[in-house]
Structure formats: structure tokens, C-alpha cells
């Protein structure tokens, strides 16, 4: 008798709880009464110019364009400095989700940070839209159902610049590679593209991150007699490599191919040193009226033009808000599914499609840095040499090593 009573009690309780939670869901599909977006970026370190404060401003511009809300539910922005440390990033994101109710994390500059964040986010069933990091591991070995890789990746960079340079006759390569995951990944991707296009790779030298003097490495590159010196590094390392290459006169006999160069790097080095260089990018401020109008707003607040990462953050917030509006929920599974089925367009790109491996595919652009005489104003730096169509810009889905698709599991 007692047993039956407790059973009945148990069932009633369960039903009550279920009813309660159901009514909650019906009334409040967006949890905690707000859509919270976290901008996770490098505020003070070597990547703070390509992301940093600019990423926060880009997200603010998106929130303004959305009127600060989605169907009456306010959008709240949070931001944090991850100091380029994966452990700090992971801990911060965990705190954001558990304590602040963050629904979507964006930017996630630095490949190590992005990989760590994507693990936490998947575990908590929230969403990360990576616009800052480059590694293709995010859509291969380390892909998750909650990670979206926006803006660019090492494959797209290698593909754009590598193919173009070999086509122009630069068929022998030597790499100057930053000695960590990102650099290795960029070198391998580019080497494969170069070989596929009929070129040869003569060698590589790996330098530690944040090296100030590159002359020694460049001398080795010079001795290799390669026509092209591929710079598989980023930020200050790329800037100092280019500077030293000019100083030692390498650029008279050999050509540099910067594999990850941002417009802020060009701005900082100046056109006399960088002219003629090929750059692959996912976005440029001077592409069309829409990008120019948006960049003008950005410029008014930041005093400099946006990078593709900044534009990517804007686009990510717009895309996410659009999906929440359409589905009426912030449930990550529902939102992700909707985004996979509905292409997104904004000033970053048109008809951008989210693939199952998490790669957002869109057009990429092959740029060539202008000669000083061609540039009409500050920040007028690129000639568009080629629009790389969506179908060719990224690693084909058939080649992905993402377990979600190959089904091999972990």
C-alpha cells in the first residue's frame, strides 16, 4: 500500500514538474529574458588591433541595427580579455554560460583559444561563432555541432594566395613558419596547394612566436634560392619579417607571400614596403557601397578601418539574432539547425551557407597591395585581383576529417 502511495505521489510530482517546465517553455522560449552575446577577444596583446576593442564596437553596431532587441527581448553584450591564454578563455566562457546566461560567444581570436572555447560551448550546448581564429581544426578533427567558423581559415588563405602566386610563376617556395599549431597548419595547407598547382617546396625554417629579429631566418630563406618566401606567421612576426626582408634586399630577387596579413598590418608597415604583395581576405571595407557605409560608421568610433574579423563579428551577431527571431528560441540545437537550412546575407557576404562541419562558406577575395601612387587616401590599400567563388574558396566537404560527417567518432 505504502509502495503504491509513494508511486502515485512520485508520478504526480513528475507530471507537475513536467507541466511547470512546459508552461515555462511556452511563455519564455528565450531563457532568462535576454539574449546574451559574449565577445571573447584579445584586448591588450599582439592581436588586439585585429580584434580587441574593434570587435566590441562591431558587435555594438549590430545590436544598434537590430534596435537593441529581438521581438521585444533585449540583447545584452558582454566582453572579456582572454589574454591569448586558452585556460583563461575556457574558464571565462564557462563562467559566462553558468553565471551570466550567455547564449552565444563570438570572435574567439587565437586558434588555441577558439579550440578551448569550442569544447566548453559544446559541453554546455551553447553556440560559438569563431571569426578571429584561423585553424582548420575547428571544422576538422575538433568540429562540434555548436561551432560555426565564420570569416576565414588557414585553408582558404593558403588556397587563395598559394594558387595565385604559383599561377604567376612563383613555383619554388621556402617557408618562414611560426612555431606553433597555427603556423604549422598554415604551412602544411599552403605546401599542399603549391604542390598541387605544380610548384615545389624547397624547405622551411621555424621561428619562435614573437621573435623581434628575423634577419637570421631571412638569410636562410635567401640561401634557399626559392622564388617565393611564404610567411606562415601573423601579426608582429609578419610585420618584422617583411621589414627585415626589405632591409636585406631580399625583395629585389625574391618575392614575399604573406599568408595571413590584415589590413592593420599593411597600414602599420606602409605601402612602400608592402606594395605588390598578394593577400587573401574574407572581406575588405572598400568592396561595395554597403561595406563602405558600415566601415564609415566603424571608423567614426574607432578612428581606423575594420578588419575582416571586425566585420565577421558584426555578421555573426546579425546571423545569430536572425535565427533567434525566426525560431523564437535561444535553444542552441534549434537555432543551429535553422542556420544550417537558411543561408544568411548581410554586408559581410551574400548567401553565406553553414555546412554540417561548421564551416560558413562565402566568397573570398584575392587582393594585391597597391603601389603608393595608386592609393588615393589612407586605408586605400587593395586592388581586388580575383573573387574566389564560394565553391572553391574553402576545403571541400568531401575532404573534411570532421567526425560528425565521417562518422568515425572520437
Kindly list the residues in this chain that would bind another protein in the complex (CB under 8 A): 44-49, 179, 202-208, 210-213, 215-217, 219-220, 223-224, 235-236, 239-240, 243-244, 247-249, 264-265, 267-270, 273, 304
Provide, rounded to whole angstroms, the least separation between the CB of residue 23 and another protein. 50
Q: Which helix (H) or strand (E) holds 3?
A: helix 2-27
Query: CA torsion 293→269→271→349, rounded to 10°?
Result: -30
Closest approach of Cβ 221 to another protein, in Å?
A: 9
Candidates 344, 285, 235; CA nearest to 58 is 285
| Closest approach of another protein to the CB of residue 249, in Å | 6
Which grid cell sits at 81?
580579455
Q: What is the closest distance, in whole angstroms, from the C-beta atom of residue 52 to another protein in the complex? A: 8
Task: Catalogue the long-range contacts made by 127-131 (C-beta closer than 8 Å, 24 or more residues apart).
Answer: 127/103, 127/320, 127/332, 127/335, 127/336, 128/104, 129/104, 129/105, 129/316, 129/319, 129/320, 130/106, 131/55, 131/106, 131/107, 131/309, 131/312, 131/313, 131/315, 131/316
- Look-up of cell digits 588557414: 154
Instruction: Write phi, then psi, for 196 (nearest 5 degrees).
Output: -65, -35
Identity of the residue, 12 or 210, whose beta carbon is nearer to another protein in the bound complex: 210
Least distance in Å: CB of 342 to another protein? 37
Q: Which is nearer to another protein, 248 or 299 (CB)?
A: 248
Three-state SS for 87?
helix
Distance from C-alpha of 344 to C-alpha of 327, rounded to nearest angstrom: 14
Q: Which is nearer to another protein, 173 or 394 (CB)?
A: 173
Task: Let me know how many helices (H) and strands (E) the chain has, helices first.
Answer: 16, 15
Cβ nearer to another protein, comparing 218 with 257 = 218
Cβ nearer to another protein, comparing 220 with 387:
220
Give 72 or 272: the residue with its C-beta nearer to another protein.
272
Give me the least distance between CB of 289 and another protein, in Å please: 28
Size of the chain in residues: 410
Nearer CB in complex with another protein: 46/197: 46
Q: Smallest distance, Å, CB 314 to another protein?
A: 20
Amino acid at each position: 500500500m505504502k509502495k503504491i502511495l509513494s508511486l502515485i505521489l512520485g508520478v504526480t510530482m513528475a507530471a507537475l514538474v513536467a507541466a511547470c517546465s512546459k508552461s515555462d517553455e511556452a511563455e519564455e522560449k528565450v531563457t532568462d529574458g535576454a539574449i546574451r552575446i559574449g565577445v571573447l577577444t584579445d584586448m591588450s596583446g599582439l592581436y588586439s588591433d585585429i580584434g580587441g576593442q574593434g570587435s566590441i564596437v562591431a558587435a555594438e553596431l549590430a545590436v544598434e541595427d537590430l534596435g537593441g532587441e529581438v521581438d521585444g527581448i533585449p540583447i545584452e553584450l558582454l566582453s572579456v580579455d582572454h589574454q591569448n591564454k586558452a585556460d583563461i578563455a575556457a574558464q571565462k566562457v564557462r563562467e559566462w554560460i553558468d553565471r551570466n546566461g550567455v547564449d552565444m560567444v563570438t570572435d574567439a581570436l587565437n586558434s588555441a583559444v577558439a579550440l578551448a572555447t569550442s569544447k566548453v560551448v559544446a559541453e554546455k550546448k551553447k553556440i560559438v561563432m569563431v571569426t578571429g581564429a584561423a585553424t582548420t581544426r575547428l571544422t576538422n578533427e575538433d568540429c562540434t555541432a555548436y561551432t560555426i567558423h565564420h570569416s576565414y581559415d588557414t585553408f582558404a588563405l593558403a588556397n587563395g594566395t598559394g594558387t595565385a602566386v604559383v599561377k604567376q610563376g612563383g613555383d619554388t617556395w621556402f617557408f618562414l613558419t611560426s612555431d606553433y599549431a597555427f603556423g604549422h597548419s598554415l604551412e602544411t595547407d599552403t605546401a599542399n596547394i603549391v604542390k598541387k598547382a605544380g610548384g615545389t617546396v624547397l624547405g622551411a625554417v621555424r621561428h619562435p612566436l614573437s621573435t623581434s629579429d628575423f634577419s637570421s631566418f631571412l638569410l636562410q630563406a635567401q640561401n634557399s634560392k626559392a622564388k617565393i618566401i611564404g610567411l606562415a606567421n601573423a601579426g608582429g612576426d609578419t610585420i618584422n619579417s617583411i621589414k627585415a626582408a626589405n632591409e636585406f634586399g631580399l625583395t629585389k630577387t625574391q618575392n614575399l607571400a604573406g599568408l595571413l596579413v590584415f589590413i592593420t598590418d599593411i597600414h602599420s608597415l606602409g605601402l612602400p614596403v608592402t606594395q605588390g604583395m598578394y593577400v587573401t581576405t574574407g572581406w575588405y571595407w572598400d568592396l561595395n557601397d554597403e561595406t563602405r557605409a558600415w566601415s564609415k560608421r566603424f571608423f567614426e568610433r574607432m578612428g581606423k578601418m575594420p578588419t575582416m574579423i571586425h566585420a565577421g563579428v558584426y555578421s555573426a551577431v546579425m546571423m545569430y539574432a536572425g535565427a533567434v527571431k525566426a525560431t523564437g528560441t535561444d535553444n542552441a540545437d534549434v537555432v543551429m539547425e535553422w542556420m544550417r537550412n537558411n543561408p544568411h546575407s548581410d554586408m559581410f557576404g551574400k548567401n553565406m551557407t553553414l555546412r554540417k562541419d561548421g564551416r560558413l562558406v562565402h566568397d573570398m577575395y584575392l587582393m594585391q597591395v597597391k603601389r603608393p601612387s595608386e592609393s588615393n587616401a589612407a586605408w586605400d590599400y587593395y586592388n581586388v585581383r580575383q573573387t574566389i567563388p564560394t565553391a572553391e574558396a574553402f576545403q571541400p566537404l568531401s575532404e573534411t576529417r570532421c567526425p560528425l560527417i565521417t562518422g568515425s567518432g572520437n
